[in-house]
């Protein structure tokens, strides 16, 4: 009997300590400034959400997200491979949960993405006719966009349709539907989602050649009398090499076309990489130098990361009349896709919060840009 009482007492003590720890963490989180509140007069502050976060598996994480962000983009669940896994089969379960999450926590949802050459349903590989690709293309946009019209505030209608030199990427859509597939995607989205903002999204489209191709796309869509509301610059950059002049010139040139500008997938890589951008098809081979900071980021790199984020947000605030949203690609460092790309298993540190949701020096530099 005594042993049983001791076991109950020990278990109670453990639960009490766990609850006290949660309360302590929650209290600390409330003392951290809020990004969404800090920039509420300037532009939206977003993050990418994974399935666990959408499912609210950790109440502390949920509260943290709701305090820091007022916009969110799903990492994967709205990509066609997941939301449209069979020719006549759609799976809306997680996307519907995301919409409910946004409504519950006063977070606007950006749909990502209707048309992308990557992460396509497996059945697409067996299709070899224009009519079939056209049917998939049309049905997918109409079905998904119409379901969430007015429930998502925006759609990345087409994602990454350009090569680095500004020419059209040789995707399955270009191959079978021709150069006008981007315009047609926006036309279909406009019909299916009249209450939703429509964006074109890409990486490196702040670079001059790719920017020129992006401008041509926007002009072509507009010339066809089709609605395009904005352009997303993903913002996958590398520490110490942020192309500030190109970014500013891009903001000005895109805004001059009458479209909104947003930074949609912001992170700053701190690990070695021999190329820039975010082409998921590119990979690197692991070696002794490829994961240089397995346990912690050196102070010198932490300082440079903070300086880079500070410079970026000063630029964003300079042009806040043209920028509507800045979305980080992940809540904290542990969520970042850069831990596994272009080399699996690396330890990356590209965001404002560490793996325990604690603010890094970069966070405070960003907060301090608002006077």
| Catalytic machinery residues | 160, 265
Q: Which residue has the tokens 């003590």?
A: 13
Which own/partner pairs from 31-36 qualify as long-range (CB within 8 Å, at least 24 positions apart)?
32/359, 33/367, 34/67, 34/68, 35/68, 35/69, 35/352, 35/366, 35/367, 36/67, 36/68, 36/69, 36/70
Cα dihedral value 105, 107, 108, 114, nearest 10: -90
Structure tokens at 335: 């969520």
Fill in the DSSP letter of residue 179: T
Q: Which of 331-359 are b and which e, b meaning 16 or more Cβ less than 10 Å from the residue's Cβ?
A: bbbbbbbbbebbbeebbbbbbbbbeebeb
Q: Are strands 230-233 and 323-328 parallel, antiparallel or unpaired?
A: unpaired
Would you give the DSSP letter of residue 239?
T
Q: CA-to-CA distance for 203 and 10, rounded, in angstroms?
A: 54
């Amino acid at each position: 009997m005594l042993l049983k009482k001791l076991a109950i007492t020990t278990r109670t003590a453990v639960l009490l300590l766990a609850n006290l720890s949660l309360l302590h963490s929650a209290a600390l989180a409330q003392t951290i400034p809020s990004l969404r509140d800090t920039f509420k007069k300037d532009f939206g502050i977003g993050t990418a959400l994974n399935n666990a976060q959408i499912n609210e598996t950790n109440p502390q994480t949920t509260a943290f997200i709701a305090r820091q962000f007022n916009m969110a983009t799903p990492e994967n669940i709205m990509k066609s491979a997941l939301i449209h896994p069979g020719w006549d089969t759609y799976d809306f379960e997680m996307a519907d949960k995301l919409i409910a999450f946004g409504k519950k926590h006063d977070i606007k949802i950006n749909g990502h993405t209707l048309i992308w050459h990557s992460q396509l349903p497996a059945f697409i590989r067996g299709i070899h006719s224009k009519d079939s690709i056209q049917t998939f293309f049309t049905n997918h946009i109409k079905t998904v966009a119409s379901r969430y019209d007015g429930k998502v505030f925006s759609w990345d209608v087409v994602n990454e349709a350009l090569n680095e030199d500004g020419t059209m990427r040789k995707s399955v859509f270009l191959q079978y539907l021709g150069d006008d597939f981007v315009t047609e995607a926006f036309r279909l989205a406009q019909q299916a989602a009249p209450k939703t903002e429509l964006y074109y999204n890409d990486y490196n489209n702040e670079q001059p050649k790719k920017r020129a191709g992006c401008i041509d796309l926007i002009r072509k869509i507009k010339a066809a009398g089709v609605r395009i509301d904005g352009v997303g610059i993903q913002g996958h950059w590398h520490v110490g090499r942020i192309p500030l002049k190109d970014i500013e010139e891009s903001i000005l040139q895109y805004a001059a076309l009458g479209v909104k500008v947003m930074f949609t997938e912001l992170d700053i890589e701190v690990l070695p990489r021999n190329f820039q951008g975010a082409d998921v098809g590119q990979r690197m081979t692991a070696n002794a130098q490829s994961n240089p900071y397995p346990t912690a980021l050196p102070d010198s790199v932490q300082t440079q990361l903070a300086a880079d984020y500070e410079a970026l947000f000063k630029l964003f605030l300079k042009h806040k009349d043209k920028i509507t949203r800045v979305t980080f690609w992940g809540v904290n460092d542990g969520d970042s896709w850069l831990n596994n790309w272009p080399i699996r298993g690396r330890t990356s540190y590209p965001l404002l919060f560490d793996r325990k949701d604690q603010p890094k020096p970069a966070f405070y530099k960003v907060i301090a840009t608002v006077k």
